[in-house]
Chain A
Amino acid sequence: MTLNETLRVVFGGIFAFLAIASIIGALLKFRLAPNAPHDAIDNLNARIKAWWAMILLIGGAVWIGRGGIIALFAFISLQSLREFISLTHTRRGDHRALLWSFFFFLPVQYWLIAINWYGLFSIFIPVYAFLLLPISASLGSDTTRFLERAAKVQWGLMICVYCLSHVPALLTLEIAGYEGRNALLIVFLILTTQSSDVFQYVWGKLIGKRKISVAISPSKTLEGLVGGVLTSTAVGAALWWITPFAPWQAGLIALTINIMGFFGGFVLSAIKRDRGVKDWGAMIEGHGGMLDRVDSISFSAPVFFHLVRYWWVA
């Protein structure tokens, strides 16, 4: 199959799946709560609607091509970083460091992908931002909780920009026999990670009993975690034909990124609880903020990128 045919099959499948979900959601609403608000069903329907929007956005970006995908993830990084910094404590002395983060490090990180400069892409934020931002903050002459503030800005950049930028960076990998099809790696990563979130939610609602950590996330259960990760590992293995992997390899990789994705959501939940909030923002109805949606991808993308780069790039 050509790239376009494969994309048509994959996205056609997703659209069919979402259409069925929408119909079920509408039926549930019609049967159980036609004229009254119903928390669980309304939340489900809001989630399905948001899924439509997200899939259309990703589909549009893939259709536009490389520039579209890089621009989409640059925007996702921008919105996530806004949410992250908005909720963390910084002081006036950090203003310059924040300007650098938003208007220099973020765009340049994505520009490095566009010009295919892997060497600088991989160390730009861990080395240069890490050293230059505290210098900038120190010029603000405010020592109050300095280490903590510097760490927060660096964490925000790492999670929201550096880690997420590994998704479009998949386009730069040169895999023998897979030329021109790298966008499908992104589709594989997003479908696996996000379906893991969905199935964890579904399994958790159906049979969830043992809470993993009440302090961090009251809704995450062991049953949900195991059921969700295994189901979406099966989804990943079933998608082997859009990747350069054999079915067993696709399954193992899906398992790895699902586990990373789970802990991405878990770690960022710990930060949210510490700040006393439930969601990072209110951008996507039913889903909270952008960062609530991409926390799992942020943790799975770099690992996925390096697994593929280590074993498949000649």
Chain B
Amino acid sequence: MAIEHFIAAFLCEFVKLLTGVRALWRGSLPEDRRRIYFANHRSHCDFVLIWAALPSPLRRRTRPVAGADYWLTSALRRYIINRLFRGVLVDRSAGRAQGNPVDLMGAALSAGDSLIIFPEGTRNLGDDLLPFKSGLYHLAKAHPEAELLPVWIENLGRVMPKGALLPVPLLCSLTFGAALTLADGESKDGFLQRARDALLALAPPAD
């Protein structure tokens, strides 16, 4: 495990150098609590950025949720997601050979870890936010002890847009918002809308 720690730390430093990432904590603090970080999704490196921006004790207990269809397709990707980042892999296909995603994520929370998830479900190529998938709601319902923390990732999608071969060294920032929990009797759609609004509120003004 030692070598994986070393490689992961090196990767984090590299990502920080390339993106000059700044973490802005607005309404929450980097505390060791069980949390579900949910963020906008523009690039495959999104979770690395959040992971790298967390203080290292928190980082060790935070696992990204990633799509099995992408990350299990080569030995290198398998190594990166399983060994370096201890990712929770979920099957996004209709068949669900790997089990129910909410159960898999819930198991990680029950084991005391925090999660990084992208409730849009796929990388978003537009400027806006896609509607959220319902997994966030089911997870919040099954794990009321976990805090949901919105994280707005700014610029990473411009550093390395989908299909690009080389990154542009732009500066990225992460804005962590105030924690959300599911209210008593709140409907699924109402909660997902509230979570999406909380994330959008962290975005810089559109020009």
Question: Chain A residues in contact with chain B, CB under 8 A?
Answer: 78, 82-83, 85-86, 89-90, 92, 95, 98-99, 102-103, 274-276, 281-283
Give min CB distance, B165 to chain A, whole Å: 9
- Residue among B125, B166, B169, B204 making CB contact with A82, cutoff 8 Å: B169
New A-B contacts (13) at CB < 8 Å, excluding given A82-B170, A89-B207: A78-B169, A82-B169, A83-B171, A86-B171, A92-B158, A92-B161, A95-B168, A98-B168, A102-B168, A102-B169, A275-B207, A281-B20, A282-B22
Give min CB distance, A78 to chain B, whole Å: 8
- Report B-chain residues with C-beta under 8 Å of the C-beta of A283: 20
Give min CB distance, A229 to chain B, whole Å: 32
Is there a chain A Cβ closer than 8 Å to B122's Cβ? no
Expressed in whole angstroms, the Cα–Cα distance for A16 and B171 within the complex equals 36
- Report A-chain residues with C-beta under 8 Å of the C-beta of B172: 86
Expressed in whole angstroms, the Cα–Cα distance for A98 and B158 within the complex equals 10
Residue of A with least CB distance to B126: A92
B residues 141-176 touching A (CB-CB < 8 Å)? 155, 158, 161, 164, 166, 168-172
Is there a chain A Cβ closer than 8 Å to B205's Cβ? yes
| Selected A-B contacts with CB under 8 Å, 19 pairs | A78-B169, A82-B169, A82-B171, A83-B171, A85-B170, A86-B155, A86-B171, A86-B172, A89-B207, A92-B158, A92-B161, A95-B161, A98-B170, A103-B166, A276-B204, A276-B205, A281-B20, A281-B171, A283-B20
Give min CB distance, A80 to chain B, whole Å: 11
B residues 173-207 touching A (CB-CB < 8 Å)? 204-205, 207
Report whether B20 and A82 are in contact in the complex, using a CB–CB cutoff of 8 Å.
yes
- Residue among B20, B125, B168 making CB contact with A99, cutoff 8 Å: B168
Give min CB distance, B152 to chain A, whole Å: 15
**What is the predominant secondary structure among interface residues of chain B facing chain A?**
loop
Count of chain B residues with Cβ under 8 Å from any Cβ of A?
Answer: 16
Expressed in whole angstroms, the Cα–Cα distance for A36 and B140 within the complex equals 41
- Report A-chain residues with C-beta under 8 Å of the C-beta of B166: 99, 103
Expressed in whole angstroms, the Cα–Cα distance for A275 and B125 within the complex equals 22
- Report B-chain residues with C-beta under 8 Å of the C-beta of A83: 171
Give min CB distance, B25 to chain A, whole Å: 14
- Report B-chain residues with C-beta under 8 Å of the C-beta of A82: 20, 169-171
- Report A-chain residues with C-beta under 8 Å of the C-beta of B171: 82-83, 86, 281
- Known A-B contacts A82-B20, A276-B205; the reply to A95 vs B164 at CB < 8 A is yes
Give min CB distance, B1 to chain A, whole Å: 34
Expressed in whole angstroms, the Cα–Cα distance for A281 and B19 within the complex equals 12
- Report A-chain residues with C-beta under 8 Å of the C-beta of B207: 89, 274-275
Expressed in whole angstroms, the Cα–Cα distance for A78 and B169 within the complex equals 9
Report whether A86 and B161 are in contact in the complex, using a CB–CB cutoff of 8 Å.
no
Residue of B with least CB distance to A276: B205
- Known A-B contacts A82-B20, A282-B22; the reply to A90 vs B158 at CB < 8 A is yes
- Report B-chain residues with C-beta under 8 Å of the C-beta of A103: 166
- Report B-chain residues with C-beta under 8 Å of the C-beta of A89: 207
Give min CB distance, B67 to chain A, whole Å: 21
Residue of A with least CB distance to B154: A86
